[in-house]
Structure 1
């Protein structure tokens, strides 16, 4: 089994309060890994550790080792000199629970990261923008209004724009923190369908509170309880059909 992440003895606290403790996990590079567990179990903290986003929060303290598959080799992202944080967060893109488009036009939401992170402009940037918007199913919906403020898009469209913004930077891994939690059912299903398409291109790790969604998308599951890994397993280890939903619910 190829791995996209190896986590050893990860502990994170904020203002002295433990969020996760002694986390050990090996995440497969193929398919979608879903972090499951009740609220407050440490899922989001675990996810944010994979691009060192926890360090931006006040009162952070952390320890442990995290190695990610980047550039074809496993790299310790916690070691100084391995990757700077800007490069790490470009290679390990993240989409949050609530859509957070920049207070700019649809076009500038894509172009600005390209200019700042990759130095891309002109026709090359236009092509990358179009590809990212097509990948997330947005191109045909916005191609004639790219200079419209992004906040005029629907919630589902805004979330797909945020996904396109991450994809345009050519990441190697995607982190998603309940990406459809704030969306209506139709928009959530659109996001899910795009993730199923993307799973063959990227290593994806996501948090989900929906058992239905976890089973639809996930090929590997990590169950967290009280800030520790209580279990990890492949989808094939679950019963089939409706029994799978009951089995996963019972574990929570």
Structure 2
């Protein structure tokens, strides 16, 4: 990994919020690197500030201190250069599947014919041909998240920020969509940062896992995940999967019963 170019460098980032109870320090001197075509999961205790990190990278909020570099150039944020996908699909109910996918291209001023051709190609790739004129309320949760993923990818962002995008779905659907995501990332050569509470998911999808401490969050350790399996299901069958899983549980002080 050291030979791979660093795409995003986060250095010494701190952030506090203020309320009636006074200052709440969320991030404290946080530093990590994201490499070109990396797939990094960020895990940590609930409420430690994982989403706050995403909001700073995306330019939705400002850090109190610290710096970021994108391909070696200092930046304030990656506003306009990231695709941000959340747990809620945030599809517009009054727009069809095609209309939702086209939204970002429309705001960029892409011509209707070119935008629609691109959107239809993405829908075909994700198995959604025939659903172009359907409204979100008639789709399953998994299909809605596929549409949300297409809407994110079609804008060709430098980095995908995925904030627990599958956590509200049943396990079978999550496994399927993890595979869809992995294939899409490889097809479109994307760099991904995933926030998840699911250690199983982090190991199955990631090249590296960043473990955060409790609030205020700092990086405790970064684990390289050396599993070459193409699919998340195959990754779970790898003989190293259990060891990685238990190592990460130990970092988070989660008690597990290790089996032989």
Give the alignment's TM-score, normalised by structure 1: 0.83
How far off its partner does 1:121 sit? 2.6
Q: 1:223 and 1:157, CA in 2 relative to 1: closer, same or farther beyond 3 A?
A: same
Take 1:183 and 1:89, find their aligned partners in 2: how far apart are those partners?
Answer: 28
How far off its partner does 1:115 sit? 0.9
Aligned to 2:235: none
Take 2:176 and 2:124, find their aligned partners in 1: how far apart are those partners?
Answer: 13
Q: Is the 8 A contact 2:212 2:220 kept in 1?
A: yes
Aligned to 1:221: 209
Q: State how 1:186-197 maps to structure 2 within 5 Å.
A: 186-197=172-183
Candidates 128, 134, 140, aligned match of 1:139: 128
Candidates 186, 194, 198, aligned match of 1:210: 198
Q: Is the 8 A contact 2:203 2:241 kept in 1?
A: no
Aligned to 1:199: 185
Number of residue pairs the alignment of both structures matches: 229
Structure 2: tracts of 5 or more residues without a match:
228-238, 253-260
Take 2:101 and 2:48, find their aligned partners in 1: how far apart are those partners?
Answer: 34
Take 2:86 and 2:92, find their aligned partners in 1: how far apart are those partners?
Answer: 13
Aligned to 1:64: 66
Aligned to 2:39: 32
Take 1:6 and 1:242, find their aligned partners in 2: how far apart are those partners?
Answer: 30
Take 1:133 and 1:77, find their aligned partners in 2: how far apart are those partners?
Answer: 34
Aligned to 1:106: 97
How far off its partner does 1:77 sit? 2.6
Q: Whose relative contact order is higher, 1 or 2, with alpha carbons under 8 Å and at least 6 apart?
A: 1
Q: Deviations over 1:41-99 (max 9, x none)?
A: 221212222212235xxxxx622111224xxxx333317xxxxxxxx444210100122
Q: Deviations over 1:177-214 (max 9, x none)?
A: 01110111222112211221133310100011111111
Aligned to 1:157: 143
Q: Is the 8 A contact 2:203 2:209 kept in 1?
A: no
Structure 1 vs Structure 2 CA RMSD: 2.0
How far off its partner does 1:171 sit? 1.1
Take 2:80 and 2:120, find their aligned partners in 1: how far apart are those partners?
Answer: 19
Take 1:6 and 1:134, find their aligned partners in 2: how far apart are those partners?
Answer: 35
- 1:14 matched to 2:14? The reply is no
Take 2:160 and 2:7, find their aligned partners in 1: how far apart are those partners?
Answer: 11
Query: Stretches of 4+ moved more than 6 A in 1?
Result: none
Q: Tell me which protein shows more helix as a share of its residues.
A: 1
Aligned to 2:6: 3
Q: Deviations over 1:114-173 (max 9, x none)?
A: 1112x11332111210233234x2423xx2x42222232111111111111111111121
